[in-house]
Amino acid sequence: MKRSRSPSPVVALQPVPGSPHKAKKLKIHTSYVVQSPFPDFAHPTAAEALQVYDVLVEAHPGHRAVRRPPTMTSNSACTCGNVPNVVEALIGVILSQNTSGRNSAAAKTSLDAAFGRNNFAAIASAPRADVVEAIRHGGLANKKAATIQNILASIKENHGDYSLQHLAQTDVDKRLSDDVIMQELISYDGVGPKTASCVLLFCLGRDSFAVDTHVFRLSKVLGWVPDKADRVLAQAHLDRRIPGELKYGLHVLMMQHGRTCKGCKKSGSVETCVLKTYLKGRRAQAQGAGRQG
Q: Are residues 54 and 38 in the same domain?
A: yes
In this prediction, residue 292 carries a pLDDT of 64
Q: Which of 260, 279, 261 is nearest to 44 (CA)?
A: 279
HEC assignment per residue over 262-286: CCCCCCCCCCCCHHHHHHHHHHHHH
- Residue 33 is classified by DSSP as S
Q: Give the span between the Cα atoms of 237 and 229, in whole angstroms.
A: 9
Q: Are residues 95 and 192 in the same domain?
A: yes
Q: Are residues 257 and 275 in the same domain?
A: yes
Q: Give the span between the Cα atoms of 129 and 64, in whole angstroms.
A: 41
- Do 156 and 162 touch, CB atoms closer than 8 A? yes
- Sign, Cα dihedral of 146, 86, 25, 39: positive
Model pLDDT for residues 220-275, shown as the tens digit of each residue: 999 999 999 999 999 999 999 999 999 999 999 999 999 999 888 777 778 899 99
Mean pLDDT of the chain: 89
Amino acid, single-letter form, for residue 119: N
Q: Are residues 198 and 79 in the same domain?
A: yes
Q: Give the span between the Cα atoms of 239 and 255, in whole angstroms.
A: 16
Q: Are residues 192 and 228 in the same domain?
A: no
Domain boundary residue, one of 204, 239, 269: 204
Mark out the alpha helices in the chain (DSSP H runs): 20-31, 46-59, 86-95, 101-115, 120-125, 128-134, 141-159, 178-186, 193-198, 213-222, 231-241, 244-260, 274-292
Q: Are residues 227 and 274 in the same domain?
A: yes
The pTM is what?
Answer: 0.87
What is the domain range of residue 95?
A: 68-204
- Sign, Cα dihedral of 283, 242, 182, 257: negative
Q: Are residues 73 and 187 in the same domain?
A: yes
Task: Note down pLDDT in tens along the chain; length 293 residues.
Answer: 334 444 444 343 443 444 667 788 888 888 888 899 999 999 999 999 999 999 999 999 876 667 778 888 999 999 999 999 999 999 999 999 989 889 999 999 999 999 999 999 999 999 999 999 999 988 899 999 999 999 999 999 999 999 999 999 989 888 999 999 999 999 999 999 999 999 999 999 999 999 999 999 999 999 999 999 999 999 999 999 999 999 999 999 999 999 999 888 777 778 899 999 999 999 888 776 666 65
Q: Which of 242, 251, 266, 280 is nearest to 45 (CA)?
A: 242
In this prediction, residue 290 carries a pLDDT of 63
Q: Are residues 52 and 105 in the same domain?
A: no
Q: Are residues 49 and 84 in the same domain?
A: no
- CATH value at residue 278: 1.10.1670.10
Q: Which residues are catalytic?
A: 194
